[in-house]
Structure 1
Amino acid sequence: MDRIAIIGCGGSGKSTVARELARILDAPLTHLDALYYDENWTPLPTAEFAAQQEKLVTRDRWIIEGNYAGTLPIRLAAADTVIFLDLPATACLRGILQRRRRYRGGQHPADGVYDRITWNFLRYILGNRRTMRARIRALLHDHGPHVRLITLTSRHHANRFIDHTRRAIQPGT
């Protein structure tokens, strides 16, 4: 695993899995929210956002976490591994509430996430599995048939994957 794209619904644990893997694998990590939004929550122009990702994926090693389906083909074409956090909506909603309690809202400088809960965001989470699962599968088929796909369907499954990876890389831990 040298070039890892981590995708999944908001609140699924993408940032947590990405941080742990980056630490274990000693790989550079990019949070797409931090790349896409500035400190005033203003998004980058689409072409510039895509160009920055094109540059990131030329590196030998990387972990990039975030969805942005419009630019996902850039990451899929260069990735060797895709980790898809395919958790139920209830788990994602719990993750968002935990994040809200932890950070008390606002933008998180480390990963760029802006902690705002809107009706549109809640609808996105509730319908994510129904709408995004098929779209992600199609994008993987078209742009990433070469990748190793790891689908994690619960937080327990994600934690076991992290523990397994840690033991494989750092025996005795």
Structure 2
Amino acid sequence: MKISNYNRIIIIGNNGSGKSFLSKEIAIITGLPLFHLDVLFWRPNWEKPSKEEWVKKQIELTSAEKWIIDGNHSDTMELRYQSADLIILLDINRLICMYSVFIRNTKKRSDMPSYLKERFNREYFHFLMGVWNYSKTRKLAIMDLHRKYPDKPLLVIDSRRKMNTLLKEWRTSAAIQ
């Protein structure tokens, strides 16, 4: 698979699966503009935009000719899924995802607005439960979308090793061109 053949890529998967890392690497390889949904969504104090405003933003993003969009945001995922010409699903083991979520809380994240800080409160506990239950909830919704749009190419990456192998192949392919 040549990643340079695709102009509209969504990268989805569990929190902590490596979506932001992979999306940044693909953006470097392809030169496609990258959009992190969390940066666009969250406002100070974890305030959310209105549903109408968020849908409008998704339509605006997906109407462009070229992009990489990193993030789930399940309520608007179908808009991105319809417009994408490649869907990359990171289906990484939930223990690895949980570990990554804990580790990233000690670092500055470029995929989150700088004015937000992780809080260890009730919402964070629910967030962790979502990470743990991903395969029983959000992954099922993603697979439903795949059944609804079977002609959309879906690349499932189920390990960090596989992700790194693909990145190495894509870098090599880009260097040759």
Does the TM-score normalized on the shorter chain lie above 0.5?
yes
Amino acid at match of 1:24: I
Among 137, 144, 157, the residue aligned to 1:138: 144
Measure how far apart 1:40 and its partner are: 3.2
Identity %: 31
Counterpart in the other structure of 1:111: 111
C-alpha distance in structure 1 between counterparts of 2:165 and 2:17, whole Å: 15
Contact 2:74 2:138 in 1 (8 A): no
Measure how far apart 1:131 and its partner are: 2.0
Could you list the structure 1 runs, at least 4 aligned residues long, displaced by more than 6 angstroms after superposition: none
Counterpart in the other structure of 2:72: 67
Amino acid at match of 2:155: I
Instruction: Number of aligned residue pairs: give it.
Output: 166
Q: So what's the TM-score if we normalise by structure 1?
A: 0.89
Counterpart in the other structure of 2:132: 126
C-alpha distance in structure 2 between counterparts of 1:70 and 1:136, whole Å: 11
SS of match in other structure, 1:44: coil
Q: So what's the TM-score if we normalise by structure 2?
A: 0.87
C-alpha distance in structure 1 between counterparts of 2:152 and 2:171, whole Å: 21
C-alpha distance in structure 1 between counterparts of 2:75 and 2:34, whole Å: 20
Measure how far apart 1:30 and its partner are: 0.5
Measure how far apart 1:2 and its partner are: 0.7
Contact 1:88 1:129 in 2 (8 A): no
Measure how far apart 1:134 and its partner are: 1.9
Contact 2:25 2:167 in 1 (8 A): yes
What stretches of structure 2 of length at least 5 have no aligned partner?
1-5
Measure how far apart 1:116 and its partner are: 3.9
Amino acid at match of 1:28: P
Measure how far apart 1:97 and its partner are: 2.0
Measure how far apart 1:154 and its partner are: 1.2
Amino acid at match of 2:97: C
Is 1:13 the equivalent of 2:15? no
What stretches of structure 1 of length at least 5 have no aligned partner?
none
Contact 1:80 1:146 in 2 (8 A): no
Matches for 1:9-158 after TM superposition, within 5 Å: 9-103=14-108, 108=109, 110-112=110-112, 115-117=118-120, 118-142=124-148, 144-158=149-163
